[in-house]
Structure 1
Amino acid sequence: MSHFNPEKLFVEYLNGVTTMKPVFPRRYTLTHSDETGELFLTIGMDYAWDKVNPMRDEVLGEWKTKGSSLVYRVYLHVDQGEYNQNEAAIRNEIFRRELPLALTAIRYGDRFLFDTYPQLDHSPIIITFMSAYPQFARQENWGPFHNFLFNETL
């Protein structure tokens, strides 16, 4: 896993969303630059589709309710039809390796929301791996957000 560097994270809030509200709807689009290692987090009421590239290697997330609890749902495109099974396997491995970095970046990038609503740190993160190949298409619980706190002393 790559090491999270907050200096390489750039956060943008879209119209209607501030550092502290609303929680619903609140959607996250995390993209990156392979050349610079920079991460770009866009937080809005909708996903930032204009930031998504044809490779579909972005991380999309949103807050949802499940009964009386909050859940953070993440959606990843392991393949987009043009990838064969071997390429999908490689993308699946890359997503799994880099997902802790992505979740740390999202948690850090929206830290003011988490400071305002500390219960969000205890919300489970449900990852949906989307794929045409059954061995990669699955949902997994990656634990609560407090597992992805950025610790500057590490």
Structure 2
Amino acid sequence: MTELDPGKVNVRFVDDVVPTALSLPRRYTLTHSDRTGDRFLTIGRDYDLRQISGAYTRFMRDEVLAEWLDDHVPRLHVFLHVSGGVVFGNASLRLRIFRSCLRSVLQALRYGDDALFTAEPALDQGTAVVHYSSTKDRFNFQEETGPLTDYRLT
């Protein structure tokens, strides 16, 4: 997969979130346009429910939700909806798509919150826990990534 184009990432901070300070909760809502390839990232204290409430987004269920949790060290938890309810595509296909896009998803989150990583460099050594949510047991699991610094755009 090609590296993320930062010119296609639109970032918005809401809820008085300070770009340079990690205060919990800090949540990310990431969507994209299939037509333009643009990514839309909202960083706030809550998920941006308006951003994911459109009929198309609710049908596709390809949004990415993420948040920092204190697991004795700050760790980024990423939530992906593989199956359950009315969604486009079967679980196997959706899992393959999510996995093929995971690098660019983590790059978008890392890029969009670059001021935080600059102010808190230890966060770059942290990892992300990716939660794949499915009503089918074999597609319902989590896995940990390498350090977030691996997703910094060069």
With normalisation by structure 2, the TM-score equals 0.91
Partner of 1:135: 138
Alpha-carbon deviation of 1:80? Answer: 2.9
Partner of 1:26: 26
The 1:77/1:70 distance shift into structure 2, 3 A limit, reads same
Q: Distance in 2 between matches of 1:77 and 1:122?
A: 26
Q: Which amino acid aligns with 2:67?
A: E
Q: Which amino acid aligns with 1:29?
A: T
Does the 8 Å CA contact 1:56/1:80 hold for their aligned counterparts?
no
Q: Distance in 2 between matches of 1:82 and 1:30?
A: 20
Q: Which amino acid aligns with 1:112?
A: A
Q: Distance in 2 between matches of 1:120 and 1:22?
A: 10
Does residue 59 of structure 1 match 2:59? no
Alpha-carbon deviation of 1:88? Answer: 1.2
Stretches of structure 2 lacking an aligned partner (at least 5 in a row): none
Stretches of structure 1 lacking an aligned partner (at least 5 in a row): none
Sequence identity (%) = 40
Does the 8 Å CA contact 2:12/2:41 hold for their aligned counterparts?
yes
Q: Distance in 2 between matches of 1:74 and 1:142?
A: 10
1:99-148, Cα deviation, whole Å (9 max, x unpaired): 10010011011000000000000111100000011111001001210111
